[in-house]
A = this chain, B = another copy of it.
């Protein structure tokens, strides 16, 4: 299954000539999960030929405009282009009220079901689950209620080694083997040792999206060993005081978290418009955590199984 992140916007607060406001598409299998939706997201989706029909869920981290001002337009376009599949929207209190008011005044009755899931941004909580993934919120520390999201593949079944399977096994027993159990007789004696007839399962991949936040070391337990970590890095460390004051982070702080959490790969984004050239931010982060990349418009990051 695909596990691929596409960056649509990397600019904080206001867009700049070459940078859009925050939005990312996480493609899991054949479904797109849209994370934040700054102004112009629907145009960015068009530019990168990402079909909005395949977006199943949209997650909004907080209600600063640079993270959601593209949402009403995108939903309107889905409506006008005939979407019928339900759309699940996860966001903080207030988001549903804003959209409802906008649709009231435009006389819009959506021709698909918009299912709103109000988030408690203060805690770690499972907000979505399907057969292959879970999504949890993680609490950020920002000027308004704000959370991040962790996407994790569920544990995968152990592949069966067909040529080693005894013939007496029936389907329910095969299922148990896939999930790591031994097969026993009625008295508890092991008939088939799991490890002898199965292989190690494929890795379960994970992506953590840390939206706008002051440097917050208490996030560490949530981020431990994730494959891909996005963390905002609005400023270089020279402006650490300004970062603290505005509830943002520096590139060095983002990298420190990545190093301490032993993640595989760090992406930094949400850059202040003052940085025309992003090299200083990247270098600063790489000094602390080598496997860092810039999450700039159009870039794609795949996580292999």
Contacts and interface: CB of A to CB of B under 8 A. Distances in A.
A232 interface: no
B70 A42 contact: no
Interface string A82-108: 000000000010110110011011110
Given A70-B39, A107-B144, A65 B98 contact: no
Nearest to A78: B14
Contacts of A76: 14, 65-66, 69
A183 interface: no
Interface string A181-222: 000000000000000000000000000000000000000000
Nearest to A41: B39
A1 interface: no
Contacts of A104: 94
A302 interface: no
B106 A63 contact: yes
Contacts of A15: 42-43, 46, 73, 77
Copies per complex of this chain: 2
Contact of A98 (B64, B66, B102, B107): B102
Given A98-B102, A144-B106, A46 B16 contact: yes
Contact of A14 (B13, B16, B80): B80
Interface residues of A, number: 38
B107 A143 contact: yes
Contacts of A39: 39-40, 42-43, 69-70, 73
A72 interface: yes
Contacts of A69: 39, 69, 72-73, 76
A69 B40 CA distance: 10
Nearest to A70: B39
Interface string A46-81: 110000000000000001111001101100110011
Nearest to A18: B46
A70 to B, nearest CB: 7
Contacts of A13: 77, 80
Query: Which of A14, A72, A98: most chain B CB closer than 10 A?
Result: A14
Contacts of A95: 105
Contacts of A47: 17
Given A14-B76, A15-B43, A77-B14, A98 B94 contact: no
A95 B101 CA distance: 10
Interface of A: 13-17, 20-21, 39-40, 42-43, 46-47, 63-66, 69-70, 72-73, 76-77, 80-81, 92, 94-95, 97-98, 101-102, 104-107, 143-144
10 contacts: A14-B77, A14-B81, A15-B43, A16-B46, A39-B39, A63-B102, A63-B105, A65-B72, A94-B104, A97-B101
Return the 4 tightest CB-CB contacts between A and B, nearest first.
A94-B105, A63-B105, A39-B73, A14-B77
